[in-house]
Amino acid sequence: MSACDLGNGLRVIDLTKQLDPETESRRCHLFRFNTGGPIPDFHTIMDLTSHLGTHVECPYHHNDSWTDVQGLPISTFMGRAIYVDINHMEANGKIMAEDLEKACGDRIRENDIVILDSPYKIPPFTPLTNTPEDKRLVIGRETALWLKEKKVKCVGFGDGVSIESNNTDVSAFHDVLMEVNVVFLEVLQNLEELSTDTFFMSYAPIPIKGLDSCPIRAYAIEGLGEFSK
């Protein structure tokens, strides 16, 4: 179950992709062993890629001189989130400043987390990518410049926005934002379970020095007053 009530008007939604090592296309291997001794003591060696499942991408992902996972403050990985479902554009359109202005209005504040989505949903990074069935909206330098101007701290993606459309647009989008320490959330799930477009969100990685990105458990909490407007 991806959503549950916490009481007192609070609701939590798990936005994380579930992983199964037997079916996952990216590197995901678990080696479980008993350390021995008088009681069972099981440990697991995890052999994972840093871009597995729902993960947060940090600036070090695109430049050796930019900030790695442990170099960012913990506040980078939580805060006020805005879900932006861009439903006025035609299929395969590139998201421009005017599109974001229309979809967001004046809702975006400095240090917000912005999740971009559209009705043209397909699972990302599958054989459907960049086929005639792929109608998702695409991002580029112009999208990034608008978000940079708004001084957001994180950009997340639903299944309605492509982050693998072409190298030129994807590279520019990453570089414009990561240069100013904006992080990315990829492969978010269960966004349809949200009952509001403004909520608290958390997605903290393991603070390992020299790590470019990290699988995380992303979740939204609805009903926290200071994060609901």
Q: What is the pTM of this model?
A: 0.95
Q: Where are the beta strands (DSSP E) in 95-153?
A: 113-117, 137-138
Where do you find CATH 3.50.30.50 in the chain?
3-17+53-222
List pLDDT tens digits, range 100-124: 999 999 999 999 999 999 999 998 8
Average of per-residue pLDDT values in the chain = 96
Q: pLDDT value at position 172? A: 97
Judged by average pLDDT, the poorest of 27-36, 123-132, 182-191, 197-206 is: 123-132
Q: Please compute the mean of the pLDDT values over residues 50-76 and round it to a whole number.
A: 97
Domain 3-17+53-222 classified CATH 3.40.50.2000?
no
222, pLDDT greater than 90 = yes
- pLDDT band, residue 21 (cuts 50/70/90): very high
* DSSP 3-state of 109: coil
Q: pLDDT value at position 164? A: 87
